[in-house]
Structure 1
């Protein structure tokens, strides 16, 4: 690299429906160029690309070629928009949704790309929101409780159907032939790094949060055999030396250089999860600073110098976000997805026509109408479980609820009640941390939902605390670019790189005392419904789901 060309890194964020590449200046984090590639197949929820029978409820698959195409199309376009040369790029890093996991051969070939398995749904990657493994997750928890597995407390006493072991056990039970053919069971976060470097690499983050890796080991074979005898050897499909976050996973191969337009030998950072890398972008790495990444779902990330068994967490992992601290993860399975559902189902054609006439989206129209109401004016209370509950109940067989409907209820009433319900869900998570001795001292938000200022103010009012915001629309990609700078040696560690390259606007929203006081009353009602339907008061949601399936 010539001395007159400033150094840059590339962050590539693989989301639910698309992938984004971002070119960032190493010196100060300036965002120089970006490009998005929409997945050709999106989320596969009905039938496989080649046809065949309908997929069962709660399935969500993806196509590996869509991920390769992000490298092929988005990275070169981002470089061109930034006006930088390949020799300026000192490193590239990727982040992924998680747990998005796939079965592969020893050389990393996805089983779904083998002709023998192209028509087998279990041969395809299971997206993070594949929730069909809830019975397997429940069994893992029961057996862990019975055998006194110490690692269960690190996950708040629950194992999610979204994670590696539950999805793998479902694979074994429903398609043992595909299970036996899978030499490797690998997170997409690690698989995409394999495509870039030509060598398998596994990161500590996904292993700890999604793979039940604690204190240097996975669950033992005796425990796995208690779930299913043939499951005893499953960990062999996972085992590989784990790499520290911010480290180098290798360098770009010749084939990957031709694919991306980068130079062969460019440093590739260890893989990571979209929410976790965003912490670096938002300068939210210090103990007690919670980051909520708000999009189709919400993921809550926080570091602490103390360990507490917080109920319903997605994991507490030492060094899981940055070295030297306990990294906690919690989350809500549906947030933006729920608002999209409301637009599809609760907004009549007249609202769509009004929105079109005014040149705004139906989301914007409903938000505008909802914002004009006083707190509690719609008379509704909702539970935000349309995609199940990730934290703190960890039960994806729960479902949504709206209470208080009348013949006078309007679409904007429902829309506002759902916004408020997701805010109550976040408050439930914050209170779970604090009641477990892990204080939340700052709250920062990131993600696509930041565009809705009414929503963000509602969250501040419901939480009763100021909300900082990430001052970038490219949180995960910027966070990945920061990790790339560390892997390439431009900064000594993630915290230093975050301080130089991250973006944070402090106290962008502050609570209104009057609204906050009324929301305190409404939140108490939410918690009553939350505990009644979610903690065994009435299992009607489970019974209805059983009848449906």
Structure 2
């Protein structure tokens, strides 16, 4: 073997890495668990030094020491991570605080309202393609400026997860356009550049990374990074991107009309289009490749909610077996969970309602319900959230006949089937479901010219599809109607008084 590619991804609860051969075979893999830090309600953080760089370096060392591949055979490196995140670093690239994570971190709710009132919804959509939500980095930078002024004064750059990793690897401070657009309202979609309109109000463009495309080779591994990671000095490094985009690429979602649903700590959905979809309920970004666009959506708590359920209601189970056991129990509960409906808004909600004050709800309980019904209702509540997103998509664009699915949640048969039943579309699984780290390896191969986009079909062919069960349609249609009514009738009560 003469060509191999390293891909590493930093997730919400786990980092994963793979070395992939030029024909798509996984030669070696590794993973590291970590925790999401929740210092107070509505905050979600990572220790970037430990969970981002520390785990990247540890995984890289393990993979390059594997007998199946040597560092000298790795042609290029691709890195991704959760995002958009807000990490201030000093002039030496050292983190000044824990990273504030993506939309699950709702600390900047007041700043979102403040900036939206100042700038105006129409102006935000026209210049940045997105309204301000908990997913936006701009309000979190304003939060930093207002509430941690001493840290803001010491801040040299504001980084995303992949930006931080690339800086440690190469010394370059860059960010891809797809990730950069999440820094609303600082990214201008017309010029594909940072705007200076908010230099005095939020942050100056000079304190943001240089913009580039995801597959651009932005540098080589430095001597210091080589010592930390086991990689060869000079190994090419691409700019990389946010994990969800790499997940999409890993399952063949590259061109217009293709859609991915990612089952992870959150559900994330990407529809690639040939034009910009303008809908304030959804997110917009340039896609990874110039001339294409992405229409995106994401739930706030999905896999995170299943972890919460396990920790609160299945403490007696072996942690290594708990998720499998809960899924087996849920399979004994009928579709519709005996009338239970869950609103999965346990950390606010992102698309399409964009409500940081939204609250979780378990509706319909009676004395006949057992744990398996509760857990099934949690999974179905997430499925209803996906349907809400797809209904919103359908108002703007034609949906594909089948959806590419990826992520750890696809191993939960009840959850996976419930989504197909709720949205009434088949989901296709590829041979490799590793996700973003695999997509990073493919993007790295693209970056150095060793692969073409269409090669992902040979790298990772389709393996099976899960179709909706017609007999469940009326049950899930009724559950979905109740799901929508529960939020609409209670949303005012969810806001703080």
TM-score by length of 1: 0.84
Query: What SS class does the counterpart of residue 523 from structure 1 fall into?
Result: helix
1:17 pairs, out of 7, 13, 16, with 13
CA distance in 2, matches of 1:258, 1:138: 46
Determine the structure 2 residue equivalent to 1:511. 468
**Is the CA contact (8 Å cut-off) linking 2:173 and 2:210 kept in structure 1?**
no
Contact 1:37–1:69 (8 Å) recurs in 2: no
Partner of 1:501: 459
- The whole-number CA distance in structure 1 between the counterparts of 2:84 and 2:263 is 17
- Structure 2 distance, partners of 1:281, 1:363, is 25
Is the CA contact (8 Å cut-off) linking 2:49 and 2:95 kept in structure 1? no
Which residue matches 1:331?
298
Distance of aligned partners of 1:24 and 1:147 in 2 relative to their CA distance in 1, 3 Å threshold? closer
CA contact (8 A) 1:206 1:272 kept: yes
Once residues 234 and 518 of structure 1 are traced to their aligned partners in structure 2, the CA distance between those partners, rounded to angstroms, is 52
Give the Cα–Cα distance (whole angstroms) in 2 for the partners of residues 152 and 131 of structure 1: 23
2:497 paired with 1:540: no
Q: What is the CA distance between 1:19 and its match in structure 2?
A: 2.0
Question: How far, CA to CA, are the matches of 1:219 and 1:80 in structure 2?
Answer: 41
Counterpart of 2:139 (choices 159, 166, 169) is 166
Distance 1:402 1:279, change over 3 A: same
Q: Could you say which residue in structure 2 is the equivalent of 1:115? A: none
- State the 1:197 CA deviation: 0.7
Provide the C-alpha distance between the structure 1 equivalents of 2:125 and 2:280, rounded to a whole number of angstroms.
14
- 1:317 — aligned with what? 285
Shift, 1:217, TM fit: 5.3
Structure 1 unaligned segments of length 5 or more: list them: 47-55, 112-122
Conserved 8 A contact 1:485-1:497: no
1:199 paired to 2:172? yes
1:60 to 40, 44, 50: 44
- Select the residue among 321, 328, 336 that pairs with 1:368: 328
Report the Cα distance in structure 2 between the residues aligned to 1:89 and 1:232, rounded to whole angstroms.
41
Q: 1:251 matched to which residue of 2?
A: 220
Q: Deviations over 1:266-290 (max 9, x none)?
A: 1101121111011111012232221
Aligned to 1:7: 3
- Whether contact under 8 Å (2:246, 2:440) holds in the other structure is yes
Other structure's SS at 1:394 match: coil
Please, which moves more after superposition, 140-149 or 170-179?
140-149
Match of 2:100 in 1: 126
The alpha-carbon distance between structure 1 residues 104 and 390, as it changes in their structure 2 partners (threshold 3 A), is same
Q: Is the 8 A contact 2:132 2:184 kept in 1?
A: no
How many residues in Structure 1 have an aligned counterpart in Structure 2? 493
Distance 1:100 1:153 in 2: 17
Report how far residue 164 of structure 1 moved. Answer: 1.2
Q: How does 1:149-548 map to 2 (within 5 A)?
A: 149-151=124-126, 154-155=129-130, 158-212=131-185, 213=187, 214-216=189-191, 220=195, 222=197, 224=198, 230-231=200-201, 233-238=203-208, 240-313=209-282, 315-318=283-286, 320-347=287-314, 352=316, 355=317, 361-491=321-451, 493=452, 495-506=453-464, 508-533=465-490, 538-543=491-496
SS at structure 2 position matched to 1:333? coil
The match for 1:53 is: none
**Range that drifts further, 279-288 or 413-422:** 279-288
Residues 403 and 109 (structure 1 numbering): CA distance in 2 closer, same or farther, change over 3 Å? same
- Residue in structure 1 matched with residue 70 of structure 2 by the alignment: 85
Q: Distance in 2 between matches of 1:425 and 1:7?
A: 42
Q: Distance between the aligned counterparts of 1:388 and 1:503, measured in 2?
A: 37
Give 3-state SS (helix, strand or coil) of 2:278's partner.
coil
Q: Offset of 1:44 from its aligned partner?
A: 2.6
The alignment's C-alpha RMSD in Å is 2.2
CA–CA separation in structure 2 for the residues paired with 1:103 and 1:78: 30
Q: 1:219 to 1:80 in 2, by over 3 A?
A: closer
| Contact 1:218–1:235 under 8 Å retained in 2 | no
Q: Name the CA shift for 1:291/1:233 in 2 (closer, same or farther; >3 Å).
A: closer
CA displacement at 1:250 relative to structure 2: 0.8
Change (3 A) 1:473 1:376: closer
